[in-house]
Amino acid sequence: MMKKILFVTGTRADFGKIKSLMDVVESSENFELHLLVTGMHMMWLYGSTYKEVKKQNYTNVYFMSNQHKNEPMDAVLANTMIILSRLTDAVEPDMIVVHGDRIEALAGAIVGALNHIRVCHIEGGELSGTIDDSIRHSITKLSHIHMVANEEAKYRLMQLGEAVSSIFVIGSPDLDIMNSTKLPTLLEAKSKYSIDFDEYGVVMFHPVTSEENEIDLYAENLFRALDALDKNYIVVYPNNDFGSAKILTVIKRYENNPKFKIFPSLSFESFLVILKNAQFIIGNSSAGIREAPFYGLPSINIGTRQNARFKGETVINCDYEEVSIINAIKSISRERLERSTHFGEGNSTELFEKFLNGQELWSIPVQKVFVDIKP
């Protein structure tokens, strides 16, 4: 009998990171893919990215909204748990797969754990330095199987009491897509989004929930700094965390500025091509810490959101001050830097498929035991 595997996606970003893994399941004779599409995907404000998911033509897909505009995160968590509780009751999955540190992933882990369904967490053990850490580590403790990016993440999970036998190092799955020969050309990506810049920087600035009172000032400093320089920018909306409305208010002031092309979202493949061919990426997105270094692309990391993450030689850190941001941009070399493979080599899909088809993964018990690290 085919095992049913339910994936959960709430954003364009996490969909891009797990898409290659879902393709493995969908094409397998041993497994049946089920996919819940919710969160930002279902929101018009963020580009209704569920349409990108629809284009994949997966067999069993469920599109369900889990929030109204500006609904608090705890309410969104509760809504998502109810959706997943009813969905798992109907589908009866053998495993739930979640990614990262978003509310939808936490809901999937809670529902799985409470219903004795195996939960597989992709890219746990990471550090960022914000509330995301608390969510990510909570998901770890609720999950039974861990697919991590590197040995550092593996050791952190061991510190959290996870059994070594439950941790599989596969790298970051989005690097597989970055390595793919099936990505659109730059011309195709630019044409799709009517981008006419020859040279440009990519801008992604997300809210930090603990800095909500100052986030509009920080956004204003960033965009004043960008506008002060003779450069072009492709801006992608922030995520929908608390404080995003203030950032959007600032961004919308630049909608008619010819230096800025502003998008609620970009398809993951198009985003990667646009990123690869940029002069730099600036903001506080993990894309500047993970994806950009894999391309050897300079990135400017602003503020505290990625404080605890590993930062390679391609990353420039700066504070929220306008002059600091201007100086950071001016310091960027036009030459590409050596690419970083800290988060993997681009073979995550192959390793995921290997472990998924092995007996070791399916023999991991649903009843978890805390494993102490002996002094």
Tell me the per-residue pLDDT of 73-87, one tens digit each, with 9 for 90 and over. Answer: 999 999 999 999 999
Provide the token pair at 211. 């800095």
Give residue 209's pLDDT: 80
Mean pLDDT of 323-336: 89
Closest CA to 197 of 252, 247, 235, 254: 235
CA 103/CA 109 separation, integer angstroms: 10
Give the β-pairing of 31-37 and 3-9. parallel
Give residue 69's pLDDT: 76
pLDDT band at 309 (very low <50, low <70, confident <90, very high): low
Percent of the chain with pLDDT over 70: 99
CA 301/CA 305 separation, integer angstroms: 9
Percent of the chain with pLDDT over 90: 78
Instruction: Name residue, tokens 């595997």.
Output: 5
For the domain made up of 3-178+346-362, the CATH class stated in words is: alpha beta
Contact 346, 175 (CB under 8 A): yes
Give residue 305's pLDDT: 81
Given a cut of 90, whether residue 142 has pLDDT beyond it is: yes
Tell me the per-residue pLDDT of 235-282, one tens digit each, with 9 for 90 and over. Answer: 999 988 888 999 999 999 999 999 999 999 999 899 999 999 999 999
Give residue 308's pLDDT: 63
CA 154/CA 100 separation, integer angstroms: 14
Tell me the per-residue pLDDT of 151-193, one tens digit each, with 9 for 90 and over. Answer: 999 999 999 999 999 999 999 998 888 888 889 999 999 999 9
**Can you name the CATH fold of 186-330?**
Rossmann fold (3.40.50)
Tell me the per-residue pLDDT of 195-221, one tens digit each, with 9 for 90 and over. Answer: 999 999 999 999 988 888 899 999 999
Give residue 286's pLDDT: 87
| Runs of H (alpha helix) within 144-211 | 151-159, 174-178, 186-192
**8-17, 93-102, 341-350, range with the lowest pLDDT:** 341-350
CA 168/CA 150 separation, integer angstroms: 9
Instruction: Name residue, tokens 């998502």.
Output: 80
In the chain, residues under CATH classification 3.40.50.2000 are 3-178+346-362, 186-330
pLDDT band at 131 (very low <50, low <70, confident <90, very high): confident
In whole numbers, what is the pLDDT of the chain averaged over residues? 93
CA 46/CA 158 separation, integer angstroms: 37
**274-283, 307-316, 325-334, range with the lowest pLDDT:** 307-316
Give residue 182's pLDDT: 85
